[in-house]
Chains A and B, each alone.
Chain A
Amino acid sequence: MSANITAVVDPITPKDAVRESVTRKLLRDPQALIAGSILLVIVVLGVGSPWFASHDPNAASLDAVNAPVGTPGYLLGGDQSGRDILSRLLLSIPTSLFTAVIGVSVAVIIGVTFGLIGGYSRKTVQTSTEWVFSLIQTFPGLLLLIVLVPLTGGDYRITMAIFGVLLAPGLYRIVRNQVLSVKNELYVDAARVSGVPDSRILGRHILFVVRSPIIIAAAFLAGACIGIQAGLAFLGLGSTLVPSFGAMISDAFANFYTDPLQLVWPSALLGLLTASLVLLGNSLRDALEGARPKSGSASSRGTTRQAPQNTAPSVALLDVRDLAIAYPGPDGKPREVVSYVSFTVGAGETVGLVGESGSGKTQTAFSVLGVLPREAIVTRGSIQLGGLELLDLSEKDKRAVRGRRIAYIPQEPMSNLDPSFTIGQQLVEGIRCAVPGLSRREARATMMGLLERVGITDPDRVFSSYPHQISGGMAQRVLIAGAVATRPEVLIADEPTTALDVTVQAEILDLIRELQAEMGMAVLLVTHNFGVVADICSRIVVMQSGRVVEEGDVRDVFASPTDPYTQDLLSSILDEGTVRLDPPRTPEPVEAQK
């Protein structure tokens, strides 16, 4: 069985179009393109400013005092001291750029280094770095910079280095939190087992993965630095000889009534610079972390759906016919994940919907519940519950069916309970939504009875417990109690025992079987486990890549599957009979690899 196995490998499926490089994403984003181009132009002007500027920024000429725009040699006019506004504007750009570079570099170097140390190291080191950075954060930033002016001598570069230190805690927090979440990833453990030194683990495995939020934060911090520097210069703190936007705005402000136009140039360029940085930061975030999917396709559902050809009224309780579900692909065109799926579930019957991951079994179940994600489109088909077309219902009417006529048990019981409410509160709320007019006390009595029915020995305690206080098996019992409270006609169970231990799985399957017999409900069980199907299902529907490949009585399908895929699946089950019998191979000592 194992001789030629290595030759059988699934084809490699590159998800090429889904992931494209960050640069290409940025180039396709108009916001990034515009903001980036503006920034590029400003930077080029700034770098070339010593050549572009026609005057020394501090050279004053009495002829040029408040010269109007368009004066020969003074394209944007002169300021109140007779200095060329255009030259000063151009030469202010390097000041702002240096400001951003110094502030951001200091913040990034300190924040990232200590973020990595604080996140990765032992508890004591973590606590002390945390303490130091909290202390830094308590300093009143702007005030401190003003107080320190006598020390810095008004040099904006030193001021910005100090400001960088004050900004570091923000980055430290970001990096530390990222590291804490990444450091327990299995690939970090794997690297440690491989003997990779801590320094390399930090550099290659952790920093590389957490780089996106750092890049994004840096773009925003650059904007903040430029803003603060301009503010300080506006207040007149710092050398008057260094041209900067803040100083220019301050001069123009004093001259506001004589020549208001002088205020426009520096403000506009400063605004443009910081706005482009913030917008570029936003685009970077979208490109690196993925933008939210555009919604809006939900409206197209139902309208574009084609009815199935065969519209004969159905005799089965639940009748799914020619169902097709599509998702918008990377190119915007819908891609079908479920095509022409048809099956029925009769009253009191248990049908197993079986398939491997990606077969579309869960999508099919979700479409019956009417809880497909917003971007999913049902392109074809019909789902009827006792003759009622579910796909034509409004959201309000769907709610009336869901939870009352159709109930649901999820795969992960824990994540389907709200951790901030007690079990009792959630159960009572659920049944009161489904049965309007039920009093709180009646609801409580009903749920208590049901909790006892689903095999919870101490319903009082469980009722007042929070989800984290009960085990996974218990949580699944609670959810089953909630699901059957309204005596639904159809119960949809999506891998209800996959997250549970086998001993608990057996108990839960017994419970579902008993409840079904008592209430006569139909069960649609979504699973990948043929053992579970053999245990509880009367019929089986096998799905592969969005299609039904085989359907039939459980005993018939297990005994003689007709479809090659079903045969393949059944033959790959590790059957009971095969116990490994070949003895361990004792290696020859010579062969030990070095």
Chain B
Amino acid sequence: MSEPLLDVNDIRVAFPGRGFRAKPVEVLHGISLTVNEGETLGIVGESGSGKTTIGRAVLGLVQPTSGRIRFRGRDITDLRGNDRRALARDIQVVFQDPYTSLNPSMTIEEILSEPLVTLGATKHDARARVRSLLDQVGLPSDAAVRRPREFSGGQRQRVAIARALAPGPRLIVCDEPVSALDLSTQARVLDLLISIQRETGVAYLFVTHDLSVVRHISHRVAVVYRGDVVETGSAAAVTTDPEHPYTQRLLLAAPVANPEEQEKRRADRRRLLEIQRQQDEQAGAVV
């Protein structure tokens, strides 16, 4: 593969500070990453790490202060107006909260056909496509005439996935798409995303805080810590044998759903924290 689908190169994002003449706060300090066709890149990080901002920058919802974002070789960093809107055909999104990401006053059919009609489809074609989309995400076709409040969280997330799939995009930014769901629903939605990827070859930029989720769905993983990518690699390597101290801490902090193993992990975590503390002390002594 010669050229990546998405190439994020050294982007910085700053938000205005709070208060009068406050300095802007930089939340991303030069992030670089690539997503290839048909691939899932998992972005793992904790709250405040800037992981969500990466996704929003790719979607054009926040403007980087420097750096470039290229999609299929084309610079999309500064696209505005109609050019940016046309990109909706290729780049789509699934948000975390299925309760606020669907307009409560619209029917599912209206929600799903809106992006299609916006991109120039006729009402009739859009309606036909809505049926096939609902089928694709495993919802009954009578769902079309209902409104979001009639659905459970997992079902709403399926609607959000169908909306993202509607224009046949090449990249979907998934921002914590399963964090708000119950455990059993989580697994089903992840499996749905994987099977859709296998069918359509769409790529995912998958933002999450949950290591087990990222392990399940990603081909490659980038770990974000305080606005920097600290580690990138194959999902297997990063989630089983991490190199960066932060990733090591993150991995051992996630509890295993097995009492015996969790006891072992707890001990491992304590040992790791002790070692890292000693290293920090030595480093401090050297400086």
Contact = CB atoms under 8 A, between A and B. Distances in A.
Interface of A: 1-3, 5-10, 12-15, 19, 185-187, 189-197, 200, 204-205, 208-209, 356-357, 472, 501-503, 505-506, 509-510, 528-535, 554-555, 558, 568-570, 572-576, 578-587, 591, 593
A502 B103 contact: no
Nearest to B152: A10
Residue in A6, A195, A200, A204 whose Cβ sees the most chain B Cβ within 10 Å: A195
Interface string B58-70: 0111000000000
Given A356-B184, A580-B215, A586-B1, A190 B152 contact: no
B239 interface: yes
Contacts of B253: 502-503, 505-506
A506 B103 contact: no
B236 A193 contact: no
B152 to A, nearest CB: 6
B277 interface: no
Given A205-B103, A503-B250, A194 B92 contact: yes
A533 B263 CA distance: 12
Interface string B190-233: 11101101100101000001111101111100000000000000
B256 interface: yes
Residue in A192, A472, A528, A570 whose Cβ sees the most chain B Cβ within 10 Å: A192
A186 B176 CA distance: 13
Contacts of B260: 555
A584 B39 contact: yes
B31 interface: no
Contact of B183 (A14, A191, A528): A528
B254 A531 contact: yes
28 contacts: A5-B138, A5-B195, A6-B137, A6-B195, A8-B188, A9-B138, A187-B102, A189-B101, A193-B60, A193-B88, A193-B91, A195-B87, A195-B118, A208-B103, A209-B103, A502-B211, A506-B252, A528-B182, A530-B183, A531-B262, A534-B261, A535-B255, A570-B257, A572-B183, A576-B256, A578-B216, A585-B198, A586-B37
Given A194-B114, A195-B86, A195-B87, A576 B236 contact: no
Contacts of A568: 184
Contact of B85 (A14, A187, A197, A554): A197
B139 A9 contact: yes
Nearest to A501: B46
A569 B184 contact: yes
Contacts of B154: 10
B73 interface: no
Given A14-B150, A531-B255, A586-B201, A569 B1 contact: no
Minimum-distance CB pairs A-B, first 7: A531-B255, A195-B88, A6-B138, A195-B85, A194-B115, A587-B201, A593-B168
Contact of B95 (A190, A570, A573): A190
Interface string B158-176: 1010010011100000000
A376 B61 CA distance: 43
A185 B36 CA distance: 30
B282 interface: no
Given A204-B106, A573-B187, A584-B37, 13 more contacts: A6-B138, A9-B155, A12-B146, A189-B59, A192-B60, A195-B118, A502-B254, A572-B183, A574-B216, A579-B215, A580-B235, A585-B198, A593-B168
B284 interface: no
A14 B146 contact: yes
B183 A579 contact: no
Nearest to B101: A186
B25 interface: no
A574 B190 contact: yes
Contacts of A570: 257
